[in-house]
Amino acid sequence: MVSGSEFKKRLRARELLLGTMLAFFRNPKWVSSISNLNFDFVVIDSEHAPRDRGEISDLVSAFRNTNTVPIVRVPGVSSHHVTQAIDLGAAGVIIPYCETVEQVKSVVGAAKWNPLKGIALEKVMDNNDFPSLETKKYLENENKDVICIVGIESVFAVENLPKILEIQGIDAIFVGPNDLSISMGIPRDFSNPKYDQMLEKILSLCEEKSVPLMVHHQTVELQKKWIKKGVKFVLYTTDEKALNSTMRNEFNILREVGGFSDDEKFIEDIEVKI
């Protein structure tokens, strides 16, 4: 099992880390097959996927016996959801659609200083003021393996990103291209120069603070393009889309051999919410 601390060292060293989003598979029996693909990490989605706490716990526990690091995307900007995922055994969390400094302080504090809460946590995040030196040392050790990834997925979030990146405890920034492009007024138009400019701005701001950037693209060409630009924390496609794409392509080959026309092949793709 790879510890969260070791994973964060690899992040900071700018190693290429590859993973996918689990939106479809719910049974832990799938874990052995997924781990054989040699992903560095997986993101277990609980924002868009209908998973309960028990299912997340079972998946996380199964991945803990592999070299694939399990990260949970929590349902929303909530310190409660963050601590809940960590309590279930997640190595890390992605908190989607954060937009303000206050929101980020709340969720980062929950990840890095759990179980400190309320006014005591606010004092820590605002002034580095701990109940005692012993408490600080205890919590640093208790949460040293937690990976905290903040979702920046709107124009408003990007405007606040310079201030957000000043907050201590952020291990990486996550961008969901679907939400970001919709916020920009160019829904899913990932070839638009405005999209490139926005992502380049985010990447530049992250690089200034030595904070890794993760972008969840759905095509190999888009991922190749942004890996070349410096995005080394790569979240590619989803289990559902990969399964659909592979089976569709291979069965289309069989249909072609069998004499089916193009019109009779599977040609539709899954629209993935990211």
Q: Where residue 11 sits, what CATH number does that domain have?
A: 3.20.20.60
Q: How far apart are CA 108 and CA 117, in angstroms?
A: 12
Q: Is residue 147 part of a domain?
A: yes
Q: Is residue 81 part of a domain?
A: yes
Give residue 212's pLDDT band: very low, low, confident or very high (50, 70, 90): very high
Q: How many domains does the chain have?
A: 1
Burial of 268 (0-12, 13-18, 19+ CB in 10 A): exposed
Q: Is the pLDDT of residue 170 over 90?
A: yes
Q: Is the pLDDT of residue 265 over 70?
A: no
Q: Is residue 267 part of a domain?
A: no
Please tell me the least confidently modeled range out of 29-38, 52-61, 252-261: 252-261
Q: Is residue 263 part of a domain?
A: no
Q: Is the pLDDT of residue 210 over 60?
A: yes
Q: Is residue 141 part of a domain?
A: yes
The pLDDT of residue 254 is 87
Q: Is residue 231 part of a domain?
A: yes
Query: 177 near 191, Cβ under 8 Å?
Result: no
Query: 217 near 223, Cβ under 8 Å?
Result: yes
Q: Is the pLDDT of residue 264 over 60?
A: no
Average pLDDT over residues 172-201: 98
Q: Which domain holds residue 182?
A: 4-238
Q: Over the stretch 62-119, which tens digit does the pLDDT of each residue have?
A: 999 999 999 999 999 999 999 999 999 999 999 999 999 999 999 999 999 999 999 9
Q: Is residue 199 part of a domain?
A: yes
Query: 187 near 241, Cβ under 8 Å?
Result: no
Q: Is the pLDDT of residue 252 over 90?
A: no
Q: Is residue 214 part of a domain?
A: yes
The pLDDT of residue 249 is 86
Please state the three-class secondary structure of 133-173 as a single string: HHHHHHHHHHCCCCEEEEECCCHHHHHHHHHHCCCCCCCEE
